Structure 1
Amino acid sequence: MSSRVLRKLQGEKELNEELSDPDPETDLPVTGGARRKQLNINRYDLLNQQSLSESEVKEDDNETEATNPRDGDEPHESVKRRKKKKKKKSGKHSSVQRSSEDNADVDEVERSVREVNRLLGENYVPGVSSGSSLRPDKSTHIRRSILTIQHKHLNPNNELKRIFGSKIIQSEHKRKMRGGRGHVKTTWLVSSKDNWPQAGKLGLSMSLIETKYGGIQYFTYEHSQNYRQIQNKFLEAVESLNPDNIVTIINEHPYHVDALIQLSDLCKLSEDLAMAAELIERALYSLECAFHPLFNIAQGNCRLDYRRQENRALFITLFKHLLFVGGRACYRTALESCKLLLSLDPENDPLAIKLIIDFYALRAKEYEWFIDLFTEWESTKNLSQLPNFAYSVAVAHFHISDGDLKKADALLQDALLMFPGVLIPLLEKCSVQVDNRVSNHSYFGPSAQSKQSPALTQLVLLYVNRGYHVWKENNLLPWLERNVHTVLDRVDSKDVIVKDFEAKRAKRYQGPLPRGICRHILISDVKGVSPLTEDFSASILSFDPLPPPDSINIYEKPKRPKPGTNNSSAVGIFFRSLLPSFNAADIPEQLLQPEEDGARALPGGEINIADDGNDLRRSVASLVGAMRDLLSNIRLPDVPNEADVDENDDSEDDDEQNNYLT
């Protein structure tokens, strides 16, 4: 046999001895065929082997030297077997056992991941600011860290699981998923439902306009040519004052945003809150599907210009959505939606989210976050000049005081001194009887409310009617009573700060309410609060209430056709008044003209027909408003159409609308 063949056989034998790991208790001879099979099996184990670094070799040598064999007759064999077992164990458990250098690499990666998460705000730590070079503007970083969002809290089902238990929510979800559609786009704000139509090309898109200093990115929505045609048809349907035209548009285009908003308000007017909330979710889903890839709602650095007509739909829809979600006691989800809305335009706040974010922060027990928001924004936003913030920040300090109430007492006393008109209505809403000293004192008595300006009265009523639930806790009312008497003592002792607060109230809150606050009141629809819209003569549209004066429009409002004699009766005006876009100024003049005989019969000499017409118009508007309120309180049974009934739905779905509280 040649030497080349001998060397080949000898090398194969040595290689087989290195790779094979026979059982130490059974050293049986292996044939050539078995040797090839062993090679084929163990060949892939080499992929799991890791090359040893110098430090690992030293560690291995130290371990070998420290571990001496007990049996002195076969030291070489025991060391050899130990090394073989160690190699095999390292190959099988390489993903679990790591060397010191691997752990160092993993620690470095984990530190990098934690740094990125901290910069992106995944885990927000109150009071911690970063000095990273990625945030050159300190104020911008603080504002972004305050407004960063945890997307897991945007799903109300996660909060419902914490409230009612995961088993109940999962079983309900599985029941509704029977016979569901295939794969749909994953979204954060809302999830597509099985009874929704398949979403194709919606005609909505989003583009990046610019990126400013500090990483602030400005986006805008864009409408395709087809979507613009649909929008023009929708505007004509609104001007026609016929709800059937809006329903026709939704049947043809089930994801048209403004039509869904308009129909949702009609469903809300008829007390079908479940359908109203679902229509808003569908509109929000349509808007979210059009997000730009760089439009990350969790970072808090994405902006939308409210002046652009295309962008307002996201503001309006998201606001209505958080109101429905908050009505289901999902306060943390509503809070995250408020943060998202505020991050879209924190400088202008076109929907006055600052008037509602305190309520959801307290209900969600996010006290420290709310205090940080107040601390960081007080110097630039003057949040203490809003009644809701003045009282709510005191409540937040009370909950985290841990027995030390000095800070909470000082804040509550300042709020009572600055806004004394809040106390009596708040106690009445909480069904608390006011003692004689408070009710008879001039500082908190009826004169305190009469001295308020109309604008301040609206802010006070909005806070009281929305936030009185927070004050119904047993430990808050005794604390409030104690501080009220302390404030009265300071007033009786002629404290200087009392005069300062009176001067501030007399100087501020004068004139009409800003348009942003009026929009907030209109959309919120809080019982007992109505906006003062004397300065807004145009009709108010629910899908775009009170657009800004410097609005950037791509659509022109179509001219409303003049009503004929058939639909100019009082009955026709009443039914048209049911639409949210109704405007009393559009009442036909012929209905407002008094008859000549009646005019001559009235005493008082000369009659000003123009003034008489204005008075009659106001009377008709008041009558129509009263009839709308009367109709809204009538609950009619909902009879679903056969086409709207799902075969998989159980009778339990009938109670779904009760989840939405008003």
Structure 2
Amino acid sequence: MSARYLRKVLRQQESQEQQQEDHQLDNDDDSESPDSSTPAFVNPFDLLNDDDHDRDQLQGSEPEIADEHEPLIGNIDDREPSVKATVNTVPSSNHKAKKKKKKKNKVDPSSSMGNIEKPLDVILENLSIEDNSSSHPLGPLKAKPAKVEIGDSMLKQCTPSILQVDPKFLSAENELRRIFGSKVVSSFQKSHQTGSSRQVRGGRHGSHNHRKTILVTPSEHWHRWDGSLSMELLETRDGYHYFKYVHSSSYSQVQSAYEAAKATHDLNGIASILFYHPYHLDSLITMAEYFKFSGDQQMAADSIAKCLYALECAWHPMFSPFQGTCQLKYIGHESNRPLFTALFTHMNDMHRRGCHRSALEICKLLLSVDSDDRKGAMQCIDYFSLRAEEYKWLEQFSEEYRTDNSIWLIPNFSFSLAICRFYLEHEEGSNNTQMKPGKATSTDLLKQALLLHPPVLKKLVAKVPLKDQAWTKILKHSYFGSDQTGIPTVDHLINIYVERSYLIWRLPDLQKLLRNSALLAIDTLERNKCEAQDWACVRKEAFPSDKNEYSHLLVSDFSDSVPTMPPDNLQNFLVDPRMREVPNGDQVANPPHGGGAPRNIANRNALAVLFESMLPWVDYGVGDGVGEDGQHNDHVQDHEN
């Protein structure tokens, strides 16, 4: 606001004040008491005056204030803080109004200071409400509390979900700041941005103002979102909103080009697609896999981040996945699958960076948008909860997610809940609080887990590894001597659990708990000969199928190791998921070699065929674990596990 316009407004306000005061004085009775006089009107625009103008007016009004209340000695800065605040906050127009009132109404001097100080709170309140009501972008502030009340009542009506995601924990940068401090993270980001700016300097693409997203933070050198992807609402049923992604006509053409490049095993064709269409999801995921196996983890993470950025930019206005009321089905909607693949890869990347809480929130998001859980979020959500030290949440999740208590029978939960109870017992002991009655101890829970899934103990001893002589004696018992249960689903879930969570058992306290629980389990089996048969019946009843119901989940996808393609072993590398390297770096299975006609590549993994096309000296391998004789290659899976 210019000074000329401000002075004009002030003159108008003063003239209005004078007219109002004259009108009121004419109508006042002679018997009106001085104490009942109304305080002078204060012009709120006087608070916007510059400091020099206020200082001149305040200095000129000091003797008048001193005469009304008490003498003020010394400079303003040397006086008491309360007096100084009073002097500095009194508008200049208020003094003029008080002076005129004193001449006409003969106000008591002892009450003049109270009249000055008393309306200050009212003045500031009126200033913040009345003056901002017309300029506020959301309308008058008086209507805002009504909107807040409506929103709060709506939230209260909604039942809180155990899978509700906290968006502030999705950012890896925020978690790294909590772990290492802001200075360390800021210095690392500056150095990384400097290197990135050098790489993109001289390029044809400049920086853009990207959309602000929650899942990832877009980089400056990314392309502008092209809007080729969208989302539509399918239906609303049982309080859940069902959505699916929709491809535009231009995106469908690019998808056809991608399918053609994949069919001809042309990696350069996929790279050219990304050159002209940088947010094609399948191409980004394919290149992320290529960078991962090539050892360039930064480029792989960048490709997945671009994929998530494009997916979030296409969200429907009603799509709010963080509340647990929106569904995106994996089965039946091909266009939804890139979201699950990108989230699962991003979750593992957050875990490798040490951001366990971020990985937990992403895992909750995966499970909340599709309860079918085709990516295996249930097989790692307990692990991320333990690493993030969310023990109470894990117990609450086990009690509320499935009311039939079947979650306690899954191998990873039966062991993780025992560990969770162990840490909660330590917290209760440090706080001098007693555990709620009716809850089993961590030792009892772990003993039940060992009796229900005995092969876990032998696999953990070999994987951790546990080299104490006590473990040799324990494994000599017939109940823990085998590493198979004979139930394909249980054996596969045990392999996934050991591969995912074996690092937790390297802690000495948990090793002691495991040893004591194993000894108690052996003692129970010795005292009751029918105990082993009873637990076998429980396993058979919990997992009645003779087929592996989780065969779509690969053990290698739950591994902490980062797969690579060493240059010396390129000729022996196959990207078939069942032929990948195991975490210790040994080859899972020897690739087929020798001359002759190529084998049948039907039902092969498309990415495997794509990579094999880059290695012309490698013959095609078997597909989906099926050999030339038509039998399933179970030895490959066993060796991998």
Distance verdict in 2 for CA 1:310–1:521, change over 3 Å = farther
- Name the amino acid aligned to 1:511: D
The structure 2 residue matched to 1:78, chosen from 84, 87, 110, is 110
* SS of aligned partner of 1:217: strand
Provide the C-alpha distance between the structure 1 equivalents of 2:282 and 2:513, rounded to a whole number of angstroms: 47
Give the AA of the match of 1:468.
Answer: Y
Cα drift, residue 13 of structure 1: 11
Tell me, yes or no, if the aligned pair for 1:455 and 1:512 is still in contact at 8 Å: yes
> Where does structure 2 lack aligned partners over 5 or more consecutive residues?
1-17, 27-37, 43-57, 69-89, 98-105, 130-140, 198-205, 430-434, 564-573, 578-594, 621-626
Find 1:443's aligned residue among 476, 479, 483: 479
Deviation at 1:352? 2.2
Question: 1:47-446 to 2 correspondence within 5 Å?
Answer: 76-88=108-120, 90-92=122-124, 134-135=157-158, 141=159, 145-176=161-192, 181-201=207-227, 203-214=228-239, 216-306=240-330, 307-346=332-371, 348-380=372-404, 382-401=406-425, 402-403=428-429, 406-433=440-467, 434-446=470-482
Choose which of 5, 8, 18 in structure 1 pairs with 2:40: 18
1:588-612 CA deviation, whole Å, 9 max, x = no partner? 9xx99xxxxxxxxxxxxxxxxxxxx
Letter in 2 for 1:492: E
Contact conserved, 2:485 with 2:491, CA < 8 A, in 1? no
Instruction: State the number of aligned residues.
Output: 486
Whether contact under 8 Å (2:464, 2:502) holds in the other structure is yes
| Distance across 2 between alignment mates of 1:113 and 1:40 | 34
Counterpart code for 1:292? H
| Residue identity opposite 1:580 in structure 2 | A
Q: For 1:596-635, what aligned pairs fall within 5 Å after superposition?
A: 614-615=628-629
Deviations 1:7-50 (A, max 9, x none): 979828969993589532258xxxxxxxxxxx99649x99xxxx
Tell me the distance in 2 between the aligned counterparts of 1:495 and 1:239: 59
Q: What do residues 590-642 of structure 1 show as CA deviations (whole Å, max 9, x unaligned)?
A: x99xxxxxxxxxxxxxxxxxxxx9259999x999xx9xx9xxxxxxxxxxxxx
Letter in 2 for 1:384: W
Moved more, 463-472 or 399-408: 399-408
CA contact (8 A) 2:162 2:397 kept: yes
When the two structures are superposed, what TM-score results if normalisation uses the length of structure 1?
Answer: 0.64
Q: Aligned in 2, Cα 1:472/1:113: closer, same or farther, shift over 3 Å?
A: farther
The one-letter amino acid paired with 2:213 is T
Q: Could you say which residue in structure 2 is the equivalent of 1:491?
A: 525
Provide the residue aligned with 2:54 in structure 1: none
Distance between the aligned counterparts of 2:507 and 2:190, measured in 1? 37
For 1:500, the aligned partner's letter is D
Answer yes or no: is the 8 Å Cα contact 1:268–1:276 preserved in 2.
Answer: yes
Question: What are the Cα deviations for residues 506-526 of structure 1, in whole angstroms up to 9, with x where unaligned?
Answer: 453643322x55245464466
Q: Shift of the alpha carbon at 1:183? A: 2.1
d(CA) in 2 for partners of 1:208 and 1:287?
A: 15
Q: 1:173 to 1:423 in 2, by over 3 A?
A: same
- Alpha-carbon contact 1:384-1:390 (below 8 Å) kept: yes
Report Cα offsets for 1:530-555 as digits up to 9, x if no partner: xxxxxxxxx9999xxxxxxxxxxxxx
TM-score normalized by the length of structure 2? 0.66
1:401-456 CA distance string (max 9 Å, x none): 1346942222111101100100121122222124343121001113xx24433432
Residue pair 1:199, 1:255 contacting (<8 A) in 2 also: yes
Rate the CA distance shift 1:298–1:377 in 2: closer, same or farther, 3 A: closer
- Aligned partner of residue 283 in structure 2, secondary structure: helix
Whose relative contact order is higher, 1 or 2, with alpha carbons under 8 Å and at least 6 apart? 1
Residues 150-190 of structure 1: CA deviation (Å, up to 9, x unaligned): 10001110011111111121233345556783421010001
Q: In the superposition, relative to structure 1, how do residues 527 and 325 fare at CA in structure 2: closer, same or farther (>3 Å)?
A: closer
- Whether 1:469 and 2:503 are equivalent positions in the alignment is yes
Using the TM superposition, give the Cα deviation of residue 94 of structure 1 relative to its aligned residue in structure 2, in angstroms: 6.7
Task: Name the SS of the counterpart of 2:289 in structure 1.
Answer: helix
Distance 1:13 1:252, change over 3 A: same
Change (3 A) 1:237 1:370: same
Mapped partners of 1:198, 1:302: distance in 2: 27
> Could you tell me which residue of structure 1 aligns to residue 80 of structure 2?
none
Q: Deviations over 1:258-303 (max 9, x none)?
A: 0010111111111211211111111111111101111112211110
Q: Are 1:353 and 1:520, in contact at CA under 8 Å, matched by a contact in 2?
A: no
1:264–1:279: 8 Å Cα contact kept in structure 2?
yes
Counterpart code for 2:182: S
Q: Is the 8 A contact 2:352 2:560 kept in 1?
A: no
Question: What secondary structure, in the 3-state scheme, does the structure 1 residue paired with 2:215 have?
Answer: coil
Q: Partners of 2:630 and 2:352 in 1: how far apart?
A: 39
Q: Is the 8 A contact 2:524 2:531 kept in 1?
A: no
Structure 1: distance between partners of 2:109 and 2:242: 72
Aligned residue in 2 for 1:511: 546
Q: Which residue number in structure 2 is paired with residue 65 of structure 1?
A: none
Q: Within 2, Cα distance between the matches of 1:154 and 1:181? A: 25
Cα pair 1:413 1:484 within 8 Å, conserved:
yes
Identity fraction in percent: 29
Deviation at 1:82, TM superposition (A): 1.6
Give the Cα–Cα distance (whole angstroms) in 2 for the partners of residues 286 and 169 of structure 1: 26
Cα distance, 1:581 vs structure 2: 4.2
Deviations 1:355-410 (A, max 9, x none): 11111011001111111110113434711221101100111111111346942222
Q: Which moved more, 1:254-263 or 1:12-21?
A: 12-21
AA aligned opposite 1:161: R
Displacement, 1:489? 0.4
Task: Provide the alpha-carbon RMSD of the alignment.
Answer: 4.5
SS in 2 for 1:221: strand
Counterpart residue identity of residue 325, structure 1: M
- Structure 1 residues 257 and 396: alpha-carbon distance in aligned structure 2, compared to 1, 3 A threshold: same
